[in-house]
Structures are given as C-alpha cells and as structure tokens.
C-alpha cells in the first residue's frame, strides 16, 4: 500500500509543470526529456475499476516553489493550467474506457503541479577512469560547469474511496521552460498526461 494521505499529501520533491524546448540563439537544442514513472499499491486490484471522478475538494493544485514570487502566483498558474490538465485527463481516461461518474465512482483522481529549483554540474576529470591507465596525471575534482534550472512535475493520483488512500501515482518530470508559447505548453502537457494515463493498470 502507498502510505500517503488521499488528498493533502506532498508530492515527491524532485519533480513537470511546463515542458521545455530550450534555445541557444538561433540554434534549437533538443527538448529536455520527460521522465515518466509510477508507483502502485501491489495489494490493490485494478481490474474492477470502471468509473472515476475528480476529488471533491477540486481536481488539483499548482505549487510553484522556485521563488517567493512564484509561490504567490501559484493561483494564477492554476487558473491557466487547470483547464488544460483536466481536459487532457478526461480525454485519456475516456480513451481507456473509463467513464466519469460523479458520486459513487470506483476511483478518485486528482493532480499536482510542482516546480522546484534544480542544478546540474560537471567536474574536471569526472569521465576519466579511477586508475591512470593512459599515463595521465591525476586531476583534482573541481567544478567546471554549474547550471541552475527549474524542475517541474505533474503528478496524477488515483485514490480508492473504500480505502481512503492513494493506490496509484503517475509522475512526469522535466526541466521547465517558461518561454514556451501557450500552444506548445498545452501540447506538451497533453502528451505528458497521455503518457501517464496509459500506464494506469487495468488488471
């Protein structure tokens, strides 16, 4: 069983919000990869799940925790992202043959969007073997590159009303690019939701 509270849980600390395509001048770089992972209660049977509904307290929450200003603008971002995420979830669950049934659904769905600061670094000599096989002198490990970025996550939780606990969780993680157009952001979020929902077990 996943030992979390059904609604007021804190999502994993490293984790999608706005999926990214970085640019360096006029030369486009590859979009940061989106990592999809899941957690499930191995004792729970998913085979009889046919109907679902959003959580009674609301479909989801957006928590931007990169800066103090972001934290204050979380509600603004929730207003912008909620229609995109809820429409995508409803579409993908319907495609899986799952029907929304307000009141008495087999399982409850809610989402979280979370952003946090992240860093990446390179060290001199980090790719050399531990033994000087090539006759090279040892190199002290000093940082040669440090890059700060924003990391975001989209978390989708499935809760059992009977157990009152989360039985399945899907997470999409990537770097955030706030310069995306609205259309690109919408497309990337929809793709992330699709990739999460297709991993929802039905047996």
pLDDT tens sequence for the chain (203 residues)? 555 444 444 344 333 333 332 333 333 445 668 899 999 999 999 998 999 999 999 999 998 876 666 667 888 889 999 999 999 999 999 999 999 999 899 999 999 998 875 444 444 444 444 444 445 555 455 444 444 436 788 999 999 999 999 999 999 988 877 777 889 889 989 999 999 999 999 87
Q: Give the pair of three-digit tokens for residue 108.
A: 């409850």
Residues 6+ apart with CB under 8 A from 25: none
Separation between Cα atoms, residue 160 and residue 163, nearest integer Å: 5
- How many structural domains comprise the chain? 1
Cα dihedral across residues 47, 50, 54, 56: positive or negative: negative
Residue 140: the pLDDT is: 53
Residue 181 falls within a domain, yes or no?
A: yes
Residue 18 falls within a domain, yes or no?
A: no
Coil/strand/helix, residue 76: helix
Residue 165 falls within a domain, yes or no?
A: yes
Residue 125 falls within a domain, yes or no?
A: no
Name the residue range of residue 183's domain: 32-120+145-197
Residue 5 falls within a domain, yes or no?
A: no
Where residue 48 sits, what CATH number does that domain have? 3.30.160.670
Residue 110 falls within a domain, yes or no?
A: yes
Residue 175 falls within a domain, yes or no?
A: yes
Residue 37: the pLDDT is: 92
Separation between Cα atoms, residue 173 and residue 115, nearest integer Å: 10
Residue 66: the pLDDT is: 60
Residue 70: the pLDDT is: 63
What Rg do the C-alpha atoms of the chain give, in angstroms? 20
């Amino acid at each position: 069983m996943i030992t979390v509270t059904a609604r007021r849980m804190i999502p994993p600390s490293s984790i999608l919000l706005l999926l990214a395509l970085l640019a360096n001048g006029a030369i486009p770089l590859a979009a940061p990869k989106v990592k999809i992972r899941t957690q499930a209660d191995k004792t729970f049977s998913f085979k009889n799940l046919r109907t679902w509904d959003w959580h009674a307290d609301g479909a989801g929450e957006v928590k931007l925790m990169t800066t103090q200003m972001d934290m204050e603008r979380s509600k603004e971002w929730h207003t912008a992202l909620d229609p995109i995420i809820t429409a995508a979830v409803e579409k993908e669950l319907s495609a899986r043959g799952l029907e929304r049934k307000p009141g008495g659904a087999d399982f409850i769905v809610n989402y979280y969007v979370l952003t946090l600061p992240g860093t990446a670094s390179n060290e001199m000599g980090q790719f050399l073997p531990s033994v000087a096989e090539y006759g090279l002198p040892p190199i002290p490990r000093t940082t040669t590159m440090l890059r700060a970025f924003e990391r975001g996550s989209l978390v989708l939780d499935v809760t059992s009303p009977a157990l009152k606990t989360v039985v399945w969780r899907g997470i999409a993680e990537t770097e955030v690019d706030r310069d995306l157009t609205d259309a690109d952001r919408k497309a990337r979020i929809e793709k992330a939701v699709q990739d999460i929902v297709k991993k929802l077990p039905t047996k």
